[in-house]
Amino acid sequence: MKKFLMIISAAVMSLCLTACAGEGNSSGGNIEFSQGTEISQSSSTTKTESSSEVSQTSSTMSTESVSSTENSETSSATTGSSTEKSEVSAPSSSTTTESETSSVTSSTSSSTADAPVSEPTEDGVKILVAYFSATNNTEGIAQKLADGLGADLYEITPQQPYTSDDLNYGNSKSRSSVEMNDPSARPAISGSVKNMEQYDVVLIGYPIWWGEAPRIMNTFIESYDFSGKTLAAFCTSASSGFGNSDSSLRSAASGATWLKGQRFSAGASAADVMKWANGLGVN
């Protein structure tokens, strides 16, 4: 009987052990399944998050790309705008250039209009400025007169030009000394004034030689008929005054009306020259 009870007890224990093992395996299976589920969920979450991040990144990249494109288009538009402004500015520069060119043209025309012309003055008076200038000092004054009065200009040119030796005043045998010591000397002139009769006023210029007008000026005066014309003499010198330098000239053209003459320094200004000319009342 005792042996029988021990056998039954062993069987019961075996059954208990088997049942416990089954429960353990079932629980373990559940745990493994649960872990698998968590892993699967984690993987899904990771994939989802990854996809979300990728999607967000792509979205961000797309947004940045669009922004970049917009910036590029904006930059292009700005560049185009700048180009348009530049192109719009170009005509303005051209207009300024044309305006400046027009101003220069106007100035040139004005200068041309102010140049001496062979036309009578407003009162119908036609003027001639005739001069002799051995060293170009008198020429400068004559040119200023002609410019200021709108007169014709004529240079009294000796047929035999004067050299520096001819003008040596310290040599009593020099050509100029010999001529000035001879009141009857009449140096020849090359050329002549055409249509002297057309002039109403003749201004006569020369350098002072020994306090007088050079003898070639007598040659000039005696070559024409100045009757009824108005004459005035002007001269240049370093120190001598006008004096009676035109006395012999007045005698040679007694039929003309002679006005008061004037002496100028070689560097006299146009204003000084014209002050005398305007005072004559011939223009």
- The residue extents of the domains of the chain are 46-114, 116-280
Backbone φ, ψ for residue 228 (5° rounding) = 85, -5
Query: What is the Cβ-side half-sphere exposure of residue 47, based on CA atoms within 13 angstroms?
Result: 6
Give pLDDT, residue 239.
Answer: 80
Decide: 101 and 136 in contact? Cβ < 8 Å: no
Q: Is the pLDDT of residue 42 over 50?
A: no
Q: 116-280: which CATH topology?
A: Rossmann fold (3.40.50)
Average pLDDT, the chain: 72
**For helices 137-149 and 270-280, what crossing angle results, to 10°?**
60
Cα angle 203, 205, 209; round to 5: 150
Give pLDDT, residue 283.
Answer: 78
pLDDT digits (tens, 9 = 90+) for 12-38: 565 544 444 444 443 444 333 333 334
